Chain A
């Protein structure tokens, strides 16, 4: 330390100056978008940051492999100065945990993918940087955090998967379920798989959906869950396992994410998707980690994720829906305006999670 050469000292000075400049450039645009919800020209805010984005950008992603690869490629093409270091992890809860454990020295700039609940919790803990992207103006207010900690950019809808071969052979006289109540038909006894709500986010969203379906009448919802329990052959430890087991024909039907069902079906497996009415959904979010190494590039990335181009790419690769009204849904994929949804109160669901799970465990005796 005390032996610092002059050159090193100058270097440090330079770095400090650059940081200050970067900080100024980064701070300046933030307050602006709040005043104008109109979609008019994203003038001042986006342009200067775009010009300055360089260096390495660290992205923590809960998206799937192909989407990750294509996203990195497309983003780099749009921003040649930025190098993307993408860390993929299938479970958003793991990324969330990782961002928490790294808070002493954050390694991520951007957290992308996974339900907004995961982002929301981090935002409340002060681990995210608020940023209202000019490109988020087109996004409806239900899909973004009022404080700007996270912005929703895709939609996942909960649905029903069934094995077409076994259904045709063994359940010819049973009608395809169009409501969740149809799953209570005794014909389904021992043929359904359901991701354990205690261990999986999707399983819990399904259960909360039932509560909302009965207008928060928890007794009725639990009665439904109890009857459904009689038909369930298997609760699985991970959400993806349900689709795998149904595709293998181990079970005939299962509860899962519509987009994952469609993606698996596309591999040529004998399964199909039904979206029963009054279903629940998740908002897939993107957020900026506070204190990350490259905050400027992080904003540029978030801006880019919210473009029409990125929305279309994601729809194509993952079968999810975009929050942008100008992005067409994937062929065969359900969209929010075509399916009937429950009034899913995200805040209430996460506040009452433990209580509901315990109630459910007591109801079904697990």
Chain B
């Protein structure tokens, strides 16, 4: 692998990237980790109130990651390999759960499947108490399979159809091709998906807050300590435990991953169609995706109906008064869009460049930087926010615009998303491509810009999409940063839910989701033209 010391421009770029990460990821977090002091840690850990939430977190992480990755894989496989109809529809559906401010969506599940749920009780006559591990498992599966789907689909779409064609021509059956070619080729992406999904699930606060009941997990414990009792010390200890858990996950990942690489792109040639999958698989894919789609549509249906009736579920008179509320509060919606889009673009580019330097170049301290890039995924949003508020709310920094600070927090909180996508994408591009470019005299950065960057468009897109939806839906990161003029939509929704204004909250949610979907559809349309049919095969 190439060393970078001979290329000053690369060294400078690297120093800038790492410097920014130190300033905006490490520095704020150190502020938080230091809060409790040694005595605080000892006292809190000895109290053992964290033990149960710790094991609860582990339990829900293992269960939900397994199901979310399986669903994500099926969905991705269906989108990339099968000939099922209505793919554009399924693509939008597959991203919807990512777009939902969790406070409202978990509430929608309870309305559907709770003890007096519209489906569970009024259709099936059952009274399941879904608040607890069971409900949380279900909600986290639905909420996070799209992350796995995004990452896996990107990898599958990049895998070389020629190898599968060749295998089929040599007499392998569809199942054998799947088992010996498709699956192994997707392995780096699968591992990245499992790791990312696991970390997101273990870090998530919104869903467990609403649907886990007394099944306390680490993030809800940390939040409860702050919101209920103003106990920042205890919350800091809990968050540090969470960080260590993520560190363990990360080490496990690097161990498992090993050194095997699956190079599949050796040029931009592959426009060969994928070998057809058996009809039965097409049917299975369609049925499975439809089932998921119906579930997701029901959840959003409840929100939509809540937004257009007087008082759900008791007064069903049609009204638009909840949307009128929206028109007088349009700024939060605009802020959400501006901050979210800006942050997602910068985040995806930043992560891509970083991914290139880590994956393709040799330098000291690489593994540490690799870990820093993945770390924000393990930091509970609320702590990311507190870290920022503590670190950057200083007299000499008061000139910094709050909107800019919020955008920066969104960029760096989402780095892992873009970074994972970038690595998964890069892993499948033959090194000889960029090596050829550098042999012919191009600098590292030029090879990145001219050769790799165009090949990474779908990874870039994945990075953008996930960073965007996470920025648009985050509550906890911004809750300690926003000012009246820089309020974002999730804050507004959270307040409305707390003020028992369910109608207004759903109207707001529906609008945020609608606008965000619009942005994504536009991005897909633009990139689709450039990427061509290759993406979905």
- CB-CB under 8 A from B116, the residues of chain A are 248-250
In the complex, whether B5 has a CB less than 8 A from a CB of chain A is: no
- CB-CB under 8 A from A342, the residues of chain B are none
Binds A, one of B63-71, B139-147, B257-265, B492-500: B492-500
Q: How many A-B residue pairs have CB under 8 A?
A: 152
- CB-CB under 8 A from A87, the residues of chain B are 482-484
- CB-CB under 8 A from B49, the residues of chain A are 198, 357-358, 361
Q: By the criterion CB–CB under 8 Å, are A241 and B210 in contact? A: yes
- CB-CB under 8 A from B237, the residues of chain A are none
Q: By the criterion CB–CB under 8 Å, are A204 and B115 in contact? A: no
Interface positions of B (Cβ within 8 A of A): 47, 49, 52, 107, 110-111, 114-117, 129, 131, 208-210, 212-214, 216, 220-221, 223-224, 226-230, 232, 310-311, 313-315, 386, 389-390, 393-395, 397-398, 479-480, 482-485, 494-502
Q: Say how far A307's CB is from chain B's closest CB, in angstroms.
A: 24
Q: By the criterion CB–CB under 8 Å, are A268 and B228 in contact? A: no
Q: By the criterion CB–CB under 8 Å, are B495 and A200 in contact? A: no
Partner of A196, one of B214, B485, B498: B214
Partner of A244, one of B223, B232, B495, B500: B500
Interface positions of A (Cβ within 8 A of B): 64-66, 85-94, 96-98, 100-102, 104-105, 107, 118, 121, 190, 196, 198-201, 203-204, 233-238, 240-241, 243-245, 248-251, 260, 263-264, 267-270, 353-354, 357-358, 361, 366
Partner of B501, one of A65, A196, A204, A268: A65
CA A98 – CA B402 in complex, angstroms? 15
- CB-CB under 8 A from B47, the residues of chain A are 354, 358
CA A116 – CA B446 in complex, angstroms? 61
CB-based nearest A residue for B329: A65
Q: By the criterion CB–CB under 8 Å, are A198 and B209 in contact? A: no
Q: By the criterion CB–CB under 8 Å, are A234 and B386 in contact? A: no
Q: By the criterion CB–CB under 8 Å, are B229 and A201 in contact? A: yes
CA A103 – CA B175 in complex, angstroms? 63
Q: By the criterion CB–CB under 8 Å, are B498 and A93 in contact? A: no
- CB-CB under 8 A from A268, the residues of chain B are 310-311, 314-315
Q: By the criterion CB–CB under 8 Å, are B314 and A269 in contact? A: yes
Known pairs A235-B213, A240-B497, A268-B311; A199 contacts B232 (CB<8 A): no
Q: By the criterion CB–CB under 8 Å, are A245 and B500 in contact? A: no
Q: By the criterion CB–CB under 8 Å, are B230 and A96 in contact? A: yes
Q: Say how far B369's CB is from chain A's closest CB, in angstroms.
A: 28
Show 15 residue pairs from A and B whose CB-CB distance is below 8 angstroms, ordered by the A residue.
Answer: A66-B499, A93-B230, A97-B232, A97-B386, A97-B480, A101-B390, A105-B393, A198-B216, A199-B216, A233-B129, A244-B502, A250-B115, A250-B116, A260-B500, A268-B314
- CB-CB under 8 A from A199, the residues of chain B are 216, 220-221, 223-224, 227-228
CA A121 – CA B499 in complex, angstroms? 25
Q: By the criterion CB–CB under 8 Å, are A198 and B115 in contact? A: no
CA A96 – CA B229 in complex, angstroms? 9
CA A92 – CA B214 in complex, angstroms? 22
Q: By the criterion CB–CB under 8 Å, are B216 and A104 in contact? A: no
Q: By the criterion CB–CB under 8 Å, are A245 and B228 in contact? A: no
CB-based nearest A residue for B483: A87
Q: By the criterion CB–CB under 8 Å, are A234 and B129 in contact? A: yes
Q: By the criterion CB–CB under 8 Å, are A248 and B479 in contact? A: no
CB-based nearest B residue for A200: B228
Q: By the criterion CB–CB under 8 Å, are A85 and B484 in contact? A: yes
CA A97 – CA B212 in complex, angstroms? 24
CA A66 – CA B313 in complex, angstroms? 23
- CB-CB under 8 A from A245, the residues of chain B are 110, 114
CA A199 – CA B212 in complex, angstroms? 12
Q: By the criterion CB–CB under 8 Å, are B480 and A90 in contact? A: no
- CB-CB under 8 A from B220, the residues of chain A are 199, 237
- CB-CB under 8 A from A243, the residues of chain B are 500
Partner of B500, one of A96, A104, A264: A264
CB-based nearest B residue for A91: B227
Q: Chain B CB within 10 Å — which of A87, A88, A104, A354 has the most?
A: A104
Q: Say how far B62's CB is from chain A's closest CB, in angstroms.
A: 21
Q: Say how far B392's CB is from chain A's closest CB, in angstroms.
A: 10
Q: By the criterion CB–CB under 8 Å, are A105 and B398 in contact? A: yes
- CB-CB under 8 A from A97, the residues of chain B are 226, 230, 232, 386, 480
CA A105 – CA B226 in complex, angstroms? 21
Q: Say how far A241's CB is from chain B's closest CB, in angstroms.
A: 7
Q: By the criterion CB–CB under 8 Å, are A204 and B228 in contact? A: yes
- CB-CB under 8 A from B208, the residues of chain A are 237
Q: By the criterion CB–CB under 8 Å, are A93 and B495 in contact? A: no
CB-based nearest B residue for A98: B480
Partner of B227, one of A93, A121, A233: A93
Q: By the criterion CB–CB under 8 Å, are A267 and B311 in contact? A: yes
CA A93 – CA B479 in complex, angstroms? 12
Q: By the criterion CB–CB under 8 Å, are B393 and A240 in contact? A: no
Known pairs A89-B479, A93-B227, A250-B114; A98 contacts B497 (CB<8 A): no
CA A236 – CA B110 in complex, angstroms? 12
- CB-CB under 8 A from A90, the residues of chain B are 494-495, 498-499
Q: Say how far A243's CB is from chain B's closest CB, in angstroms.
A: 7
CA A357 – CA B229 in complex, angstroms? 12
CB-based nearest B residue for A106: B393
CB-based nearest A residue for B390: A101
Q: By the criterion CB–CB under 8 Å, are A85 and B483 in contact? A: yes
Partner of B107, one of A104, A244, A354: A244
Known pairs A237-B209, A240-B498; A101 contacts B216 (CB<8 A): no
- CB-CB under 8 A from B397, the residues of chain A are 105
Q: By the criterion CB–CB under 8 Å, are A65 and B393 in contact? A: no
Q: By the criterion CB–CB under 8 Å, are B311 and A269 in contact? A: yes
Known pairs A249-B116, A267-B311, A269-B314; A235 contacts B500 (CB<8 A): no
Partner of B229, one of A101, A263, A353: A353
CB-based nearest B residue for A65: B499
CB-based nearest A residue for B315: A268
- CB-CB under 8 A from B496, the residues of chain A are 65
Known pairs A94-B479, A94-B480, A250-B114; A267 contacts B500 (CB<8 A): yes
Give me 11 other A-B pairs in contact (C-beta within 8 A), A65-B499, A90-B499, A101-B389 excluded.
A64-B499, A65-B501, A93-B230, A204-B229, A237-B208, A237-B212, A241-B210, A250-B116, A251-B115, A264-B500, A270-B314
Partner of A107, one of B115, B209, B393: B393
CA A101 – CA B481 in complex, angstroms? 10
